[in-house]
Structure 1
C-alpha cells in the first residue's frame, strides 16, 4: 500500500492530467480534431489510473472532493487565461466557496487521514 505522501502525489498528478484532458476536450471541437481528441483520451485515462492509487490510501469522498475542487479552480483559470472565457462575480464567489470547503476539509476533517 502506498504512503499518504505517495497517494497525495498520485492525486495531484491525476488532477493535472484531468485538467489537461479537459483542456484538450475544448480543443477537440466536439471530437472533430483527431490530435486533441487522442490527447484528451490519454490524459483522462492517466488521470483515472493515478486516482486509483490515491484511493488505495484515501477515502473516496476525500479523493473526489479534492479532485473536483482543485480541478474546478484550475480549469476555470485555464478557461480564463487560455480560452479568454470570463468569470462573473457569482462564478468567482462559487469557486472561492469550493476552495474554502477543500481547505476546511483538509484542515479539520479526520477523514482525510493526515
Structure 2
C-alpha cells in the first residue's frame, strides 16, 4: 500500500466524517484539527484502521498513518506562545485531502 502524501506536502484535515470512516462511537481524529491545514511531517506507514477495530471490526482496509504538523497559533485562538510553536497529530489518510498550490 503506497502513501498518497509525502513529507512536506500541504494537506487539509477533512471537516466532516469521511465516507470510508467506519464505526459509530470511535473517531480518532481530534475535533480541533478538523478543517485545518497542515504539513505532512512523517509517513508512518499502513496500519489497521482504529475506527474499525474499536467497534469490533477487522480494521481493514489498512490506512496509511501520517504525522501532520500544525502551527499552534492556527489551532488556538489567542495563542500567545512563540510563532514557531507547532503541534503534531497522527492522522490516517482517509481524513486528509491535498491542498493544491494556487
TM-score category (smaller protein): under 0.3
For the pair shown, the structure with the greater C-alpha radius of gyration is: 1
Compare the two structures and name the one with the higher helix fraction.
1
Compare the two structures and name the one with the higher strand fraction.
2
TM-score, structure 2 length as denominator?
A: 0.26
